[in-house]
Amino acid sequence: MLSWERLRVFEAVARLGSVRAAAEELYVTGSAVSQHLRRLEREAGCRLVEADGRGIRLTHEGRVLSVSAHEMVATATRARQDLAAISGLVAGPLRVGAVASVLRGLLPQTLVALTRRFPRLEPRVRDGEAADMLPELRTRQLDAVVMESWAHAPTTMPPGTHTHTLAREQALLAVHETHPFAGLEEVPVSTLHEQIWTSCAAGSDAHHSLLQLLRQHGVTDAQVRFCVADYATQLQLVAAGLTAALIPQMAVPATHEGVRLIPCRPAVTRTLAVATAPATETPAVHAFVAEMSRAAHDLL
């Protein structure tokens, strides 16, 4: 007789392609996953996985079993969602991925409010880039992704993804108070030649959007010399007179001595949103989206 728990672990390995990824999704150790696989093979009376370099691959028998295992896990998931929807239960793991700027500005107060209202909720959070995290909604590694999408460089959404808009905000040019632009009421983007910039890491949404914005307005000589994910640190670099930055309004602290914040022309805007997928839209996710919307409304 095949154990349900071991089948559930096997399904995660088969779907994700590695013991490590399955362990991370299931919040167990890699050795525990390996033990489940070995015991399942004894129950099945055949090899289900085999070594493939540093990873593993399914045997023929493993591929056959993976079809049934996937159907069983999908059925169990739907059953839990149906029961949770009937009772409106907000409890259990809530796996959230978020871009760094939202982690600091919106997420902490949201999670505090949620866990006070729903003590049985277990939020788990990690940061990253939307392009990397959005596919994990489909594979059920994440329940929700808090993302940004810049108007001039919108994020491509995977098919079937639902987007819940939280807010739209302007991004401001941050320069030192002695910078030649410091006295302007607004700065044409097309005049931002020969600037030294700080931005998030190369490959991030914010870094890509900055370069895309400048290129769209004929600025091809941008030098991004300071790559830091935290906008507060970027503002400190600006205050030291080392660089310029493009800072979303949400990330602007109450006091920013030595820094002048100036609107751009045309206005530079980004949308903050929560992305979900039908397979993960539980009452816990709905409560999370609602609380994020309230926090964004209060902040902006």
**150-162 pLDDT tens trace:** 999 999 898 889 9
3 state SS of 217: coil
Give dist(CA 291, CA 300) in Å, integer: 14
Decide if pLDDT at 184 tops 70. Answer: yes
Here the tokens at position 198 are 């700080």
Decide if pLDDT at 84 tops 90. Answer: no
Decide if pLDDT at 280 tops 80. Answer: no
Query: According to the model, what pLDDT value does residue 138 have?
Result: 82
Query: According to the model, what pLDDT value does residue 102 have?
Result: 77
Buried b vs exposed e over 50-63: b needs ≥16 C-beta within 10 Å? eeeeeebebeeebe
Decide if pLDDT at 87 tops 70. Answer: no
Strand partners, 224: 197
Residue 215 burial (CB count, 10 A): 13
Name residues whose C-beta falls within 8 Å of residue 53's C-beta, 6 or more positions apart in sequence: none
Asked whether the beta carbons of 40 and 29 are under 8 A apart, the reply is no
